[in-house]
Amino acid sequence: MKVIRAKSAGFCWGVERAIQVAREEAQGGRRTVYTDGPLIHNSQMMEELGKEDIREVGDYQSSSTLDLPMEEEKESVVVVRAHGISPERRKYLKDLGLPFRDGTCPDVGIIAGKIKSHAERGFAVVIFGDPKHPEVTGLLGYASGAGHVVTNFEDLNNLPRFESGVVMVSQSTMFTHEFKELSSQLSETYPELVILDTICGATKERQSDLVQLVEQGADVIVVIGGKHSANTRKLAKLASSYGKPTFHIETAEDIEADSFAGFSCVGVTAGASTPEFIIRSVCEKLETF
């Protein structure tokens, strides 16, 4: 079977940076690194990082109290993951008394800055995103209580009436066309709506490259990435929207030859938290079918 791989697949620069930060702090395992929730949404990569004593603590949304060992044989450090955190969470982590390093994706940091500056000027903040996603949880913390999360038109209709200016931003990993549709609808109610397209370039690139796989003749799509990964789930949803049979998998072990019987060309893409070694192993297995 012919395998076509998307031009952009796997780690985005924000994820690469977060991993680099954690590895620098771990110093090859000489120090223990605690990440506040999973550093990235890929359990296989977290397992690899664990070999360097980079440990995930807390929960998915970075909201629980951290139960860290009081005494360690070696020095330890706290690292913020790529999704970012709220100002309140940042204060909590720094108050733990351990060395602190920020691995927040700079693109997410820019979104937080835009929200903060508008909230300080009295704007209501509307965030297009998943209210349960840790990135959104963190971003809401910069809205000073004036933040509202929407995922669809129903959410827009349920927003309170704003008497001040309104700004709309997006979680970095959402669909561009959905953001345009929702922001256009909101602007009908608030003609002076400030619309800031904060969907990151890597997300847009991966979505565009997936469409190219379809145009190049792929009759089935494989999307590789963690089940918790928002951008990976978006890619799988996009592939399905083109009427293509789509498999969202985490590793090569998740695919069976029988599932691909009757297909001659498979397109392969991967979320921004998927390491290269997993993408390569999936492609190699598909080529044997």
Q: What is the largest CA-CA distance in the chain?
A: 61
Taking the CA atoms of residue 271, residue 235, residue 199 and residue 86 in that order, the dihedral angle to the nearest 10 degrees is -60
Who's near 278: CB < 8 A, 6+ residues apart?
42, 44, 224, 250, 251, 252, 270
In angstroms, the CA 59 to CA 132 distance is 12
Of 266, 216, 219, the C-alpha closest to 243 is 219
In angstroms, the CA 144 to CA 83 distance is 19
DSSP 275: -
Alpha helix (H) residue ranges in 95-200:
106-120, 134-140, 153-157, 176-189
Whether 60 and 136 have beta carbons less than 8 Å apart is answered as no
170 φ/ψ angles, rounded to the nearest 5 degrees: -135, 145
Active site annotation includes 250? no
Can you name the residues that pair with 249 across neighbouring β-strands? 224
In angstroms, the CA 214 to CA 244 distance is 8
**Catalytic residue from among 25, 52, 56, 135:** 135
Can you name the residues that pair with 55 across neighbouring β-strands? 34
DSSP 159: S
Radius of gyration of the chain (CA): 20
Catalytic residues: 135
